[in-house]
A = this chain, B = another copy of it.
Amino acid sequence: MSKYWSKLAAGLDPYVPGEQLKDKKYIKLNTNENPYPPSPKVIEALKTAANESLKLYPDPTGDELKITLAEYYGLDKKQVFLGNGSDEVLAFSFMAFFNPEDDILFPDITYSFYPVYANIFKINYKAVPLNDDFSIPIEHFFNSDGGVIIPNPNAPTARAISRENIEEILNYNKEKVVIIDEAYVDFGAESVVGLIDKYPNLLVIQTLSKSRSLAGLRVGYAFGHEALIDGLNRVKDSINSYTLDRLALVGAAAAVKDDEYFQTTRKKIIATRENVVSRLEGLGFNVISSKSNFIFISHSKVKAEEIFIKLKEESVLVRYFKKPRIDNYLRVSIGNDEEMDELIKALNKII
């Protein structure tokens, strides 16, 4: 605490990302990164773009990337917003669509950045309790005062919600913005990007960090009706004219264009997940049904925190949240098959 901090800064409770330990070599299953490298075409495009033009500002509108994304998803470029990672897109969305005095709704167990955004932008919220099986009680998201935000699949539970259920929530919140955070959608959940023309209150947020193997490039985006995208641009242009650098713009477009690579790697991750789920169940783990590149697991006999600590000793990093209702669960990112073998080997020792 410093006398120089604003009241806002003093009142913050910042988000803490997964550990990035450097003391030894770990099998890193704690930040939901993709085990596969980005498409070789991305690397090639980045090397080419690393040139003298970096002396010039990027295109502040990112038009080329918007056009690439719009073509890929069957949208108009005016329905696309770009940001420095989906976290920035989320932050700007809280500013653009939610009013402090109206309670917004999100699940009680969800991406832990949501309450942080609500806090910094002074947005009131109600955390809606998930059902005991971590499924989403749809009807509790109807008729919100201020808007709704739900990840699909949810994090850290990995459970997905159906398109029909999302349509119900949209229909019961026609005057408010409903944000579906699809950071992990490419690993098996149903995207609602196709519903954008139908629902002017729908904002879909995605990222290249997970399914396109580009956590290190920081590119996220939102899709929605033009009026919603305009609202986001108003916020962005009041904070930072150029949120995406020249390299990120070029690398992102190359990633979206290489659909074959994307399909191959995401399917590999899904296959690895299905395989590891059955092996974990064999070890006595309860695994929440996952449509994501991570799984949420608990063991019938050994406490999650104990497993977390022992896995770290075995050089395997997973994520443990010491929070009500989920303090006996671990979130484990899906690595490649070899990494999952190491996980199982380590767990065999521990359990």
Tell me the A residues contacting B by CB distance below 8 Å: 2-9, 12-17, 20, 28, 31, 33-38, 42-43, 46-47, 50-60, 84-85, 87-88, 91, 95-99, 116-117, 119-120, 175-177, 200-201, 209, 213-218, 227-228, 230-231, 233-248, 251
Contacts and interface: CB of A to CB of B under 8 A. Distances in A.
Contacts of A20: 57, 59-60
Nearest to A14: B237
Contacts of A47: 47, 50
A216 B4 contact: no
B36 A55 contact: yes
Nearest to A210: B55
A217 B250 CA distance: 12
Q: Which of A54, A215, A247 has the most CB of B within 10 A?
A: A54
B8 A95 contact: yes
B52 A37 contact: yes
CB-based closest 9 A-B pairs: A14-B237, A37-B52, A2-B227, A46-B50, A216-B246, A54-B216, A218-B245, A55-B213, A17-B241
A7, A58, A218, A246, most chain B CB atoms within 10 A: A218
Contacts of A98: 6
Contacts of A3: 175
Contacts of A2: 227-228, 230-231
Contacts of A13: 238
B213 A177 contact: no
A84 to B, nearest CB: 6
Given A56-B215, A216-B54, A246-B217, A177 B238 contact: no
Number of chain copies forming the complex: 2
A213 B56 CA distance: 8
Contact of A53 (B7, B9, B216): B216
Given A7-B99, A95-B8, A216 B56 contact: yes
Contacts of A177: 4
Contacts of A243: 84, 88, 218
Nearest to A119: B238
Contact of A231 (B5, B87, B213, B235): B5
A328 to B, nearest CB: 26
B247 A46 contact: yes
18 contacts: A4-B176, A4-B177, A4-B231, A9-B234, A12-B235, A12-B238, A14-B236, A14-B238, A16-B237, A33-B55, A37-B51, A54-B214, A55-B213, A55-B214, A84-B240, A218-B244, A218-B245, A247-B247
B31 A52 contact: no
A15 B241 contact: yes
Given A60-B17, A216-B58, A91 B5 contact: no
A11 to B, nearest CB: 9
A176 to B, nearest CB: 8
A251 B59 CA distance: 19
Residue among A4, A37, A117 with max Cβ neighbours from chain B (10 Å): A4
Contacts of A54: 37-38, 42-43, 46, 213-217, 251
Given A17-B242, A46-B50, A227-B4, A37 B9 contact: no
